[in-house]
Amino acid sequence: MADKLWFLIPEIWLFVGVVVVSVMGLSRRKMFRDLLPLVVCVFLVGAFIITPLLYSEQRISAAGLLMPMLGKYVKMLVCAIGVILTMLSVGLIDRDLEASMSAGRTRFDPIRVNRGEYFSFFMLSIIGVMLVCNANDLIWLFLALELTSLPTYIMVAISRPSRKAQEAAVKYFFLGAMSAAMFLYGFALLYGATGEIELTKLRDVFAAQAAAGGLNRVAIVGLILTVMGISFKMAVVPMHFYAADVYEGAASPVTAFLAFVPKTAGAVALILILSTVGWSGHYGNGAHGLPREILTALWIMAVLTMTLGNIGALLQRSAKRMLAYSSIAHSGYILIGLIAGPPHGLNAVLFYLLAYGVMNTAAFAVLASFERKGEEIESLADLAGLRHRYPVMAVAMALAAGSLIGFPPLLGFAGKLYLFIAGVDAGHIALIVIAGVNSAISAFYYLWLVGLPILAQSTPQSETVVARPVVWPRVAAIVTAIGVVILPLFAQSLLKASQAVTVERETTALDVTVAPDQPEQPTSP
Amino acid sequence: MASSIFYLACVLGIATAALYLLVRPGARALKLGATVVGLGALGWLVQQFVGMLGGDDPSDRPGVIFFIFSLIAVASAVRMITHSRPIYSALYFVMVVLSSAGLFLLLEAEFMAFALIIVYAGAILITYLFVLMLAQQAPGEDGTVQSPEYDRIPREPAAGVAVGFVMLALLSEMIFSGVSTELTEPPVAAAEVAAWRELEQMPGQLRRELIRVDPDLEESFPADQTPAKFSRIDEQGGIFTVGPLGSSGQTYEVSLPHSAMPQNIQRVGWALVHQYPASLELAGVILLMAMFGAVVLAQRQIELSDDEKLEAARAHQSARDAANGGDA
Amino acid sequence: MMLAAIENLGSITLSHYIFTSALLFVIGLIGFVTRRNMIVMFLCTELMFQGAAIAMIAFGRFHLNASGQVFVIFILTVAAAEAALALALVVLLYRRRETLSAEVWSELKE
Amino acid sequence: MLGSFAATILPIVVSSESAVVDVPVAQATDAFGWAALILWLPALSTVLCGLCAVMKVKSKLPGWITVGLLGTSFLLTLALFFSYEYENPVIIHALQWLNISWNGEGETVQFIANFALYVDSLTLLWMLFVTGLGTLIALYATEYMEVDVGKGYTRFFAGISVFLFAMSALVLGDNLVMLYLGWEGVGFASYWLIGYYYKKPSAVAAAKKAFIVNRIGDFGLALGIYFIWHNFGTVEYRVLFEALNAGGYSTETAGWSVRAIPYLLMLGAFGKSAQLPLYVWLPDAMEGPTPVSALIHAATMVTAGVYLIARMYPVMLLDEYALPIVAWIGGLTALLAATIGMAQYDIKRIFAYSTISQLGYMFLGLGVLTSFGAAYHVFTHAFFKAVLFLTAGAVMHGFAGQLDLRKVSGLRHMPGWRIVSWTMFYGCLCLAGFPLITNGFYSKDEIIAQAFITPGFGFVALGVIGLITALFTAYYAFRVWFRVCAGPVHFEPGDDHHNGEHGGGEFHPHAPRLVINLVLVVITIGAIASIFLGDWVLRGVGDSTAVYPSPHAEGDGFWANPHRWMPWVASAAGIGGILLAWYFHLANRSAAERMKNALLANGLTRWLPTAMENKWYVDELYHATVRAPLWILGHFLNLFDRYVVDMFLVDGIAKLPRALARTFQPLQNGILQSYAVSMAGGLALVAVLVVLMPQFVEWVRSVMGGAG
């Protein structure tokens, strides 16, 4: 128990941050309120530094987690991207209120300021993702997933004072609650099929069942409900319907958050859940891969997700909506890694999360940097001819889009390459061919994001677009754009970092055979 | 196999058709007919399920009670989603909760049964009712309350019921081929050994039970010393022989009665604080977050008034003019 | 096989409880997609949670351990938290539009 | 000269019996660490251009930065060239990039792709003209693009730098992933630069077309690389060629996945090098600025396909039909592109088709086993085609965008256009393969002669096709020259800048200034110099992976050895073509004009219309017999290009997903319950499908079994 608590130190530290931030947000002094993002960054950086110190060999072996090293990588990743996302959020909440307060027209009212709460939710959601990595039982997984999602619902609602944001919140919340009920029922069935809720024990029971002739029907249905329910967080078809509307309705910084944080939580949770059944192949001699039913389901989902995501993006005139669909498509690519399984598929997923986090945040950062008449920009036409007035931002957008296409040598290429290699290595060539075709389709719409800012001429409409008075979103865009270019040079070491995650479980989980002291031996008809 | 699935599909089909007619807006007579058909289908199911209603065997009693509770639960649930007044829906949901609590009792989960009633029926549902009252329509001129159109006419009745049917088909297939045949009950002995082990871990609990069986042991196990531990547990003739007990080197052979095993409530509490204390804390964080969220969402002025907005726009303009000197 | 299962129903088995829970879950799902009142929709998700809770308890009794019951405690907690948020959101929305219909919130679309 | 040259060729023509080739394989070395700069300097140039864009530099600075850094890169290439020892190919490690290894089934699987340079003479050959011509053309562009200073100037040079970085990576890389990186990179740079005039819809459409058509080829290449990795467990050239040398894979025992490799690589090469049926993007690519056409779409990028095949020559031998197919595609492309070129009026388009045609020759050469001929033709073609494009660019520049050969005439009589006219003349001579004094003559002869020697399906016919094409080539090349440079002075300005800087006044062509003339002269000198570099190329190819002994001609007689008689026959074809062009486009053009005027002036000479009709009769005969069929064929291909390729392929690929997207749109109707239904329904369907599928399959099987 104590060993597990050690791993929770970053989360506890961030929770201290939540308290500090929410109290500071109530301060009468404007300076304190303006310092909030800085404080958030300090706490995130602190967690980033603490995390690697905690993962010592001895604690890892004592904790008995399913994938102990997962936490180290994912927590650091989320904290690092979290800092960027914080930059995006600077000056987003209470803009009008703060302006009127500083002009002296409105008196300070602690009830009306939301900034502290916003950043508390921001950090709570990040805590949620970090906790998902530590999950060793279904209860913990359920709670951590809820802690990831619930704050995001509110963040969407308060992200901007428009009806669109509230509509987005309604859709996100209600559909999210439905999906939560789905995977909860799945959890119940998993528990029913095994009698255990600890993931490591689930894994042992499943291995025993598999050795005795295949997984229980209850386990299969439970797994499908669980996987599809959780895939809501990743916006995987058919659980993707909310994505476009919600991403469009929320303010760009929050959209960037939604596209990364819950998606990471979903991917990590899926890794954990699928690890319990393992990729060791439950059917046939020496066959690799997930149980056939789960594999088929994931296959269908991956193909549909890539295809519908990409063709959905083609028609969009709104940059945010286009990025929403592209985010769906990227979830499809991530599913390839999940299908391929350890070690490469999972490493590739984790590496891709990093790549996706950086490049997608870069694209949203550019969108978040501009406004027109006090409203944030949405349509593609607003980006036309950006080069003339903001060349750096135009280049950042082009780099982000190029990387999202998977253009060598940018970051997205390395990520996609590794995913595809993993998929091919696992023998899913048809899937990779479909992914390749989709990747080609995606070039059509991403090239708009390259072409419009750089090649096109400004229009009267796009002339009215101006940079937001806050400089930080632009800094975030530049930092991530540089990351898109520079990080591929370190692809090797980053890959190593993500490889470390799954090294341990290869030897343990994959070779589990029927343990002699299994209390129950399900008989197969 | 095939015929039985066909059989079940027919009955479920009739039931869902009836449900569809109930959900759909329509003439009262049609609804009445649908209710009759639906009740008929349900009645057939009941008749199939409990052919032995009124049997004298006391071991059948839970069966009867189970059917009563689950019928109430299902019927209330159906009424809940078909009733055109939200208040009644909420009240029907209370019925569902109460009958589920009854099912929990049958499943020997007494604590959860009462917790369910207190938390769900007592707290959560009351909140729902409050909000429903807040949003209550004023009575019409003739004093009757006319439900708004969105409460009377469902959105996607056909598609919804079809989806439900497919889902139910999935789950019932799972139940008939998975739960009833593939799941095997764990050996009772193993479960009981696990229960004894839990007793051993609970602080002071084993000692108390030992003293209750044999008061002489009180001196052998002083309260401030190393807690008692089992060194062997066997089962013979329904009586558990526990021992030898290892503490301060000495062992005793003691037979503990069945009643000494930890109670359900004890086991739940123990699991909660011993196995999942961190989850408990996490649940606390979620509740705190929910409180924050509710405060933020429900506060009255999320928006500025119009003149405030106008002023803000002007302030923005000037700030922008000042900031627009440079790029990036 | 199934007929045999029906005929043997003299004693209540796990399947019965799971069937009840599945029925509640599915009815909740149907309600969620057919009702237009936001509060009733959310009540329907609670009904789905209720179905999951019954399954948990029944499986817990079947496997003779307490994990299922502990899980239900947490389900209750999360349901309460979600309900608090959902109702706050609904109040906010009701103030905006003076209606509980979910359909008025359909401006975002293709 | 001729004899000595033939003599140098003959000794290397070894017997065709030695089918197993020992490919020289490079070894890693620690020396030449500085060579990596060849790759990094263009990258640095890109960064500096980016900085210029940020600082909003409104001068020619980015141009000079680019020229300076590319020039340094060229000098480094020269240094590498002089310090390189023959028969000792080396690998220079630059940067660790991808190095993944894992435990596969029983063995350790590795995927290694580092930034490392594979230097052999093939690399050096390519790098010399890539960096050399790159520098010169960038220099040319500093003047050519000066109207855009402060507008697109920086963007242009950044694009050129990106291109050179990518092209260097493509050529220098020591593994296929780096090659692929460069491959995509040059495609991107090409897209960037074709779409440079983004205001022109045609330019944007052309950029899109180039991108899509290339994507088809790229897909083949990617799949080919994957199969190589799958079968040989590596993407590094060194390991791959060692494996091939070891003879682990013979064409008889190899499975389909090995046999597919040559065809997939071929698809990639044909896409990038604009061969049938993927040639359609190249003529449209002329929408880009002329230096881009010269550099990317004539001299360097389009030869990447030839490089790929040459580099992968041992791999291409994995299937015995692969190289003959390359030869046939090359030969047919050469002929078809030449016929289309004859029917065009736009100078740049003519040169574009001639590029496709000459690339066809190169593939023909590769296919008939003279990798030397192909490489040499790449080398010579790079020079003379650069000259031709740059002169065309100078004309376009000077006459406000005028490129119609009917509307500019007598250039060589105009002041300041002398250098342009005569360098163009030399370029045309090279293209036509004029004997002795032009480099094109030697390289083309080598290819066509070899086609007559190498045994293979219909290779003799290909040789004949090559000769016919040579005739056509000479004709259309000199059609341009006689129309534009010779004849009476006459011009109509184009549409560009008409009302701009020249005001409403009369149009004055502005002749090229020092830099453009200098570059033209230097490249022409390079073209002349390349005549004497044949031996060097020959020796170089012998050291590289492209080595494969060309079959030897049997017999000693004059007619028995095509290498002996080919110079004469090819010269005859070339000169014949030139004479035809002279007759129809210089001599006859003015004669017909003058006579017509005289006849119309004088009523007494009415009888002369018979004579005139004779003239017309000749013209019409020419039309009916030679030009019309070709014209029809050319236009047919043009229409095919426009309607089939553009509408179905390009637009179809673009529109099909859109149509699909529209069908799914109604699902996204904005209503919460509809989403919920779709989500829950999707979930339930997938779950039911997956769970019940085994039973369903079993049921189907039982039913089928019962029926059958």
Instruction: Give me the pLDDT at residue C106, please.
Output: 84
For D554, the token pair is 């049997």
Residue B230: which H helix or E strand, with range? strand B229-230
Distances, alpha carbon B287 to alpha carbons A147, A262, C82, D229, in Å: 10, 19, 9, 54
Q: How many domains does chain D have?
A: 2
Distances, alpha carbon B237 to alpha carbons B187, B190, B261, C75, in Å: 16, 15, 16, 40
**pLDDT, averaged across chain D:** 78
For A268, the token pair is 């990590």
- Judge whether D660 lies within some domain: no
**Reported confidence tier of residue B203, pLDDT bands at 50, 70, 90:** confident
Of D673, D680, D691, nearest to B173 by CB-CB distance is D691
Asked whether the beta carbons of residue A179 and residue D96 sit closer than 8 angstroms, the reply is no
Of residues A240 and D490, the one with the higher pLDDT is A240
Distance CA A150, CA A170 (A): 12
**Which chains pack against B, by 3+ Cβ pairs within 8 A?**
A, C, D
Q: Is B173 on the interface with D (CB under 8 A)?
A: yes
Per-residue pLDDT averaged across A113-142, rounded?
Answer: 93
Instruction: Give me the pLDDT at residue D668, please.
Output: 79
Distance CA A148, CA A170 (A): 17
* pLDDT for residue A517 is more than 50: no
Instruction: Give me the pLDDT at residue D6, please.
Output: 36
- Judge whether A523 lies within some domain: no
**Reported confidence tier of residue A400, pLDDT bands at 50, 70, 90:** very high
Of C36, C41, C108, nearest to D670 by CB-CB distance is C108
Question: Residues 170 to 199 of B: which have CB under 8 A from any C CB?
Answer: 171-172, 175-177, 179-181, 183, 185-186, 188, 191, 194-195
Q: Is D678 on the interface with A (CB under 8 A)?
A: yes
Contact residues on chain B for A144, CB-CB shorter than 8 A: 282
Contact residues on chain B for C82, CB-CB shorter than 8 A: 290
Contact status, residue D478 vs residue D428, Cβ threshold 8 Å: yes
Out of A24-28, A330-334, C80-84, which region has the weakest mean confidence (pLDDT)? Answer: A24-28
* pLDDT for residue B318 is more than 70: no
- Judge whether C18 lies within some domain: yes
Distance CA D203, CA D185 (A): 20
Range picked from A87-96, A140-149, A212-221, B114-123 for highest mean pLDDT: A140-149
Q: What DSSP line would sit under B124-151, residue for residue?
A: IHHHHHHHHHHTPPPP-TTSPPPPPHHH
* C43: CATH: 1.10.287.3510
Name the residue range of residue C58's domain: 14-101
Of residues B234 and A311, the one with the higher pLDDT is A311
Q: Is A161 on the interface with C (CB under 8 A)?
A: no
Phi, psi for B242 (deg, rounded to 5): -110, 130
ipTM of the complex: 0.86
Query: Computed over its alpha carbons, how large is the radius of gyration of chain D?
Result: 28
Please, is D684 exposed, middle or buried when counting C-beta atoms within 10 Å of its C-beta (0-12, 13-18, 19+)? buried
Instruction: Give me the pLDDT at residue D3, please.
Output: 36
Q: Is A354 on the interface with C (CB under 8 A)?
A: no
* pLDDT for residue A126 is more than 50: yes
Distance CA D571, CA D470 (A): 9
User: Residues D481, D482, D486, D489: is their CA dihedral positive or negative?
Assistant: negative
Asked whether the beta carbons of residue B131 and residue C87 sit closer than 8 angstroms, the reply is yes
Contact status, residue A310 vs residue A329, Cβ threshold 8 Å: yes
Residue B257, preceding peptide bond in cis (omega within 30° of 0): no
* Chain A interface disruption, residue of D54, D100, D655, most A CBs within 10 A: D100
- Judge whether A515 lies within some domain: no
Per-residue pLDDT averaged across B268-276, rounded?
Answer: 89
Q: Which of D550, D579, D574 is nearest to D562 (CA)?
A: D550
- Which residues in chain D show pLDDT less than 50? 1-19, 498-504, 607-620, 622, 708
Out of A112-121, A136-145, B271-280, D200-209, which region has the weakest mean confidence (pLDDT)? Answer: D200-209
Per-residue pLDDT averaged across B272-289, rounded?
Answer: 92
Instruction: Give me the pLDDT at residue A502, please.
Output: 58
**pLDDT, averaged across chain A:** 86
Name the residue range of residue A348's domain: 2-509
Instruction: Give me the pLDDT at residue D242, please.
Output: 82
* pLDDT for residue A223 is more than 50: yes
Instruction: Give me the pLDDT at residue B99, please.
Output: 92
Per-residue pLDDT averaged across B182-211, rounded?
Answer: 80
* pLDDT for residue C8 is more than 60: no
Instruction: Give me the pLDDT at residue A396, please.
Output: 92
Chain D, nearest residue to B167 by Cα: D684
**Reported confidence tier of residue A281, pLDDT bands at 50, 70, 90:** low
Instruction: Give me the pLDDT at residue D612, please.
Output: 42
- Judge whether C81 lies within some domain: yes
- Judge whether A292 lies within some domain: yes
Query: What are A175-202's pLDDT values in tens digits?
Result: 999 999 999 999 999 999 998 999 988 8
Beta strands across the sheet bearing D27-29:
D27-29, D90-103, D108-119
Chain B, nearest residue to D675 by Cα: B156
Per-residue pLDDT averaged across B167-180, rounded?
Answer: 85
- Judge whether C20 lies within some domain: yes
Instruction: Give me the pLDDT at residue D568, please.
Output: 82
Q: Is C39 on the interface with D (CB under 8 A)?
A: no
Q: Among the residues of D640-671, which ranges form H helices?
A: 652-664
Contact residues on chain D for C109, CB-CB shorter than 8 A: 668-671
Name the residue range of residue D689's domain: 677-707
- Judge whether C7 lies within some domain: no
Contact status, residue C55 vs residue A123, Cβ threshold 8 Å: no
Q: How many domains does chain A have?
A: 1
- Judge whether D659 lies within some domain: no
SS (H, E, C) C23-79: HHHHHHHHHHHHCCEHHHHHHHHHHHHHHHHHHHHHHHHHHCCCHHHHHHHHHHHHH
Contact status, residue D416 vs residue D514, Cβ threshold 8 Å: no
User: Residues D410, D412, D416, D417: is their CA dihedral positive or negative?
Assistant: positive
Query: Which of D564, D582, D602 is the C-terminal boundary of a domain?
Result: D564
Instruction: Give me the pLDDT at residue B1, please.
Output: 39
* pLDDT for residue A513 is more than 60: no
Per-residue pLDDT averaged across B191-202, rounded?
Answer: 81
Q: Is A467 on the interface with D (CB under 8 A)?
A: no
* pLDDT for residue A357 is more than 90: yes
Residue D512, preceding peptide bond in cis (omega within 30° of 0): no
